[in-house]
Homo-oligomer: A and B are copies of this chain.
């Protein structure tokens, strides 16, 4: 259970003023027990459903991107027509149920450490992500 004060802190850290709309976005994003995988469209609809107030799509996009830049949200590489985000910003891997179009977290122990034996001169590793696609 996350408090409104924490939302305000996250917003301030992201150089965003705590407005009613942004607090509502935070409510849907961060007031949860488990990790939340979503598209902008998912989020947009959940805000209406959960708070009863509509936030414009532009504000949802802008706020999500600010949180992403700040590291409060993670972008999950999936080939889909929509971009997927994740409230679990730790390094972790995913199942992607292709039929349901749903992401499921994999614990690191379910995959094990991944040692990359190759390197590219002048480049360093930023992230290592495993995506396991599921079918019926």
Contact = CB atoms under 8 A, between A and B. Distances in A.
Interface in A85-136: 95, 97-98, 104, 106-107, 109-112, 114-118, 120, 122-136
Nearest to A99: B123
A78 interface: yes
Nearest to A115: B112
A5 interface: no
Contact of A134 (B114, B117, B126): B126
A115 to B, nearest CB: 6
A42 to B, nearest CB: 16
B134 A123 contact: yes
Contacts of A110: 116-118
Nearest to A75: B79
A35 to B, nearest CB: 15
Given A75-B79, A77-B79, A118-B106, A134 B130 contact: no
A95 B118 CA distance: 10
A45 interface: no
21 contacts: A75-B79, A76-B79, A77-B78, A79-B83, A98-B126, A106-B116, A112-B115, A112-B117, A114-B114, A114-B130, A116-B132, A122-B136, A123-B134, A124-B134, A124-B136, A125-B132, A126-B133, A126-B135, A128-B131, A128-B133, A130-B130
